[in-house]
Structure 1
Amino acid sequence: MTWSTSQLAELAGTTLKTVRHYHQIGLLDEPERAANGYKRYGVQHLVRLLRIRRLVDLGLPLSAIPSVEAADDSAERVLRVLDAELAASIERQQRMRRELAAILENRASIDLPAEFETLADGLDDLPEAQRALLLAYSSILTPSAMSAIQEQLSEPRSDVAAQFEALPADAPEQVRRQLARRLLPEVRRQQEGHPFLGDLAASSRRGGAVTRSVVAQALVEFYNEAQLDVLRHVHALLAEDEAAGA
């Protein structure tokens, strides 16, 4: 008994279009035709088509199938490359599941870089501006720099840091200067423990100009004028300290 093209496709669990495509690219030999001109496929065609489908389902590109079937010198290399790609895909999907689990458990974690998922529960009270800054920084900083920030954030927040985050935009100049002086020792301590904080460009995956533009725009976007003024005062005080030390 023989089958038509559509019957063969149905038996193999594929489509008529796919069978025709395999004919066109030479993967599947065309059968002899009956007296009425219709193609007539036998069991050998079915087995061949099922074999092709199996390799395709494993992720093998059509162009590599002849090499794998012939078991030539490139066959093992093709299969090992495919295996490595599958391993990477599985790892990526497992990471995606971990991130989804973190978001399902704590929706706030969606506003944090993926690598901060283990800290999500401890950062519930982190101001929105800092969350946004962390996301922006994740686009430029190296993994080691982001790990250092993660370590820093795992420590209890100080009162002066909380006051800075709560500083209203219309805070008087005197309040800003006083807050800058109170913030200075903490900034010094952070820079001593994590030197990259003093020069983010040195710990960036991007060029210096791009890094500075991201940092500058993020600060301006997510902090109000009073907070930016405090940061300017802190920067000036640090510069004075460096000049005095020099």
Structure 2
Amino acid sequence: MAWSTRQIADLAGTTVNTVRHYHEAGLLEQPERRSNGYKQYGVPHLVRLLQIRRLRELGVPLAQIESMGRADENPVEAFRVLDAELEATIERLQRARAELALIMRHRAPIDLPAGFSSVAETLSERDRSLVMIYSQVYDESAMDDIRRLVEEHPRTEADEEFDALPPDADTATRVRLAEYFAPVIKQKQADYPWLNNPATRASKDAATLEHTMVESLRELYNPAQLDVLSRANQIIYGTTDERPGADGERTDR
């Protein structure tokens, strides 16, 4: 019994293009041709197609199928590796589903890092931008602390005033806001000591962390807001030196 390409594809539950792709990938041997030039597939081809389909159903990438050999070779170690990869994929998908549930429940922006959906409504657009940047330069434990900071310190009128501060805000307003935020920042640094040395929780090298945060603050805050943060740091540290780190985001104000 011989089958044409379309017939064997239908029998194996696949498509003609897929059969041709398996030929090109070296997974399926080319069949003999009839006198009229048409391919004629036999039982071995059908069995191999079904083997490939079964491996695909188990999640084996095409690139690995040939290296795993035929089904009768029982590539146990390869399947162990595949099983571990599938387990990791399942865990990732479960986390994604849980996060999607939170996003839908809180109607949160989808661009926030995992874990921040529940506090999204308390974050300004600038805060969200900073949180996204933080997620690229700080480790998971730091991000957990930042989320807790947001939860523990709801937005105040001072936060709203700071966010709306115009670039040409008068000196008196800047000084007043700096005097308000200085003890707030100092308390948070006492509660979370790593804020005094952010590099200890960085996922990047110290130079990358400092450069990223300095540039982010310069882009996201206007001159008056930066001046408020600088004045607050001067009150805390008794110096005009600006320290790199999370200073500037609402969680540190």
- What does the per-residue CA deviation read over 1:133-189, in whole Å, with 9 as the maximum and x for residues that have no partner? 111111101111111111111114345444433433332112211221222111111
What's 2:237 paired with?
239
Supply the AA of the counterpart residue of 1:225. Answer: P
Give the distance between the partners of 1:231 and 1:95, measured in 2 at CA. Answer: 37
Deviation of residue 23 (structure 1)? 5.3
Q: Contact conserved, 2:68 with 2:78, CA < 8 A, in 1?
A: no
What's 2:193 paired with?
195
Give the distance between the partners of 2:227 and 2:28, measured in 1 at CA. Answer: 73
- What does the per-residue CA deviation read over 1:12-70, in whole Å, with 9 as the maximum and x for residues that have no partner? 12344544555566654555665666554344432332122211232222223415531
Give the distance between the partners of 2:225 and 2:35, measured in 1 at CA. Answer: 88
Greater mean alpha carbon deviation, residues 193-202 or residues 105-114: 105-114
Name the SS for the 1:115 alignment partner: coil
Q: TM-score, normalised by structure 2?
A: 0.79
Give the distance between the partners of 2:192 and 2:41, measured in 1 at CA. Answer: 71
Distance 1:30 1:169, change over 3 A: closer
Q: Contact conserved, 2:137 with 2:202, CA < 8 A, in 1?
A: yes
1:103-114 map, 5 Å: 103-114=103-114
Aligned residues: 235
Q: TM-score, normalised by structure 1?
A: 0.81
Distance 1:33 1:171, change over 3 A: closer
Give the distance between the partners of 2:180 and 2:144, measured in 1 at CA. Answer: 26
Give the distance between the partners of 1:170 and 1:30, measured in 2 at CA. Answer: 76
Distance 1:13 1:168, change over 3 A: same
Name the SS for the 2:69 alignment partner: helix
Q: Contact conserved, 1:4 with 1:39, CA < 8 A, in 2?
A: yes
What's 1:170 paired with?
168
Q: Contact conserved, 1:55 with 1:65, CA < 8 A, in 2?
A: no
Point out the structure with max Rg over C-alpha. Answer: 1
1:210 counterpart (184, 208, 211):
208
Greater mean alpha carbon deviation, residues 173-182 or residues 224-233: 173-182
1:55-204 map, 5 Å: 55-60=55-60, 61-66=64-69, 68-71=71-74, 75-117=75-117, 119-120=118-119, 123-157=120-154, 158-204=156-202
Give the distance between the partners of 1:15 and 1:111, measured in 2 at CA. Answer: 38
Distance 1:175 1:20, change over 3 A: closer
Distance 1:38 1:177, change over 3 A: closer
Q: Contact conserved, 2:2 with 2:40, CA < 8 A, in 1?
A: yes
Q: Contact conserved, 2:99 with 2:114, CA < 8 A, in 1?
A: yes
Name the SS for the 1:154 alignment partner: helix
Give the distance between the partners of 1:17 and 1:113, measured in 2 at CA. Answer: 40
Q: Contact conserved, 1:168 with 1:226, CA < 8 A, in 2?
A: yes
Deviation of residue 7 (structure 1)? 1.7
Q: Which has the higher helix share?
A: 1
- What does the per-residue CA deviation read over 1:198-227, in whole Å, with 9 as the maximum and x for residues that have no partner? 232232111112111221122122222211
Give the distance between the partners of 2:196 and 2:101, measured in 1 at CA. Answer: 35
What's 2:251 paired with?
none
Q: Point out where structure 2 has 5 or more consecutive residues left out of the alignment.
A: 240-253
Supply the AA of the counterpart residue of 1:14. Answer: T
Give the distance between the partners of 1:47 and 1:125, measured in 2 at CA. Answer: 59
Greater mean alpha carbon deviation, residues 133-142 or residues 99-108: 99-108
Supply the AA of the counterpart residue of 2:171. Answer: E
- What does the per-residue CA deviation read over 1:51-102, in whole Å, with 9 as the maximum and x for residues that have no partner? 222112322222234155312xxx1110011111112222222333333333
Q: Contact conserved, 2:165 with 2:225, CA < 8 A, in 1?
A: yes
